[in-house]
Amino acid sequence: MIYGIRRCSIGYQYRIVGFPSWQKRNPRQGLLIGVCMSEMNQVLIVVGDASETVDTLYPYLRVQEEGFKPVVAGPEKRKYNMVLHEIPTAGWDITREFEGYTIEADIAFSDVDPEDFVGVFFSGGRAPEYIRYDPSLVRLTRAFFAANKPVACVCHGVEIPAYAGVVEGRRMATVPKCRFDLEVCGGTFVDKPCVIDGNLVSGRTWHDHGQYMKAWINLLLEWRDGSAPRLSSTRQ
């Protein structure tokens, strides 16, 4: 017996009594043919203007190698300008910034339904300090944590879950300049290239991609294959 229906990015989904997942109905056969791909294969990549290029593009491409579809989300559905960050060996005491590539957001934060995604990635750069105040981003961030879905975060990306109030009691890596943001919100700073705390995986900068990314990918695969512990998602 069907007791729910909703539209998803690849058609309509149905939920039947006694079955926990949304299903897609084949319009020709009239049969339930399995969990909607939007729920099982999509991974959210959070960006804004001045997201760091390498922070963003590495996970964007990496998830595709495992059969996931990256969906880029921003404050609006439009093109965003990314940047490149490096710490020069001489002549500068702070991070130097260059213009990077652009990236097109597939969806606005306000239109994101966390139930349609396997996990989420919070990219670094200067964007997080601005976009973290977006109410829709706060809502979806809390939903991913509440559902225990795989979350990855690098560099300044920590500013988003910190502002959303979901890092209290959690261990995380981040760039040292964001240590205060994490600790003032109740988190514990760990200066390592890969920190795993339950569903949360984090690295310090893009230089750590090769250390922490695989751990997050493994969590995504476990969730997609149904072997990860799941909690009900809530909108806040």
Q: What is the DSSP string of 205-236?
A: SGGGHHHHHHHHHHHHHHHHHT-S--------
Question: Tens digit of pLDDT for each residue in 130-157?
Answer: 999 999 999 999 999 999 999 999 999 9
Q: Is 156 a catalytic residue?
A: yes
Among 85, 156, 207, 209, the one annotated catalytic: 156
More confident residue, 40 or 121: 121
Please check whether residue 118 is in contact with residue 224, taking contact to mean a CB–CB distance below 8 angstroms: yes
Average confidence (pLDDT) over 64-78: 97
More confident residue, 140 or 92: 140
Question: Tens digit of pLDDT for each residue in 172-218?
Answer: 999 999 999 999 999 999 999 999 999 999 999 999 999 999 999 99
Least confident of 50-59, 93-102, 147-156, 207-216: 93-102
| Domains of the chain: residue spans and CATH | 2-35 (no CATH), 40-225 (3.40.50.880)
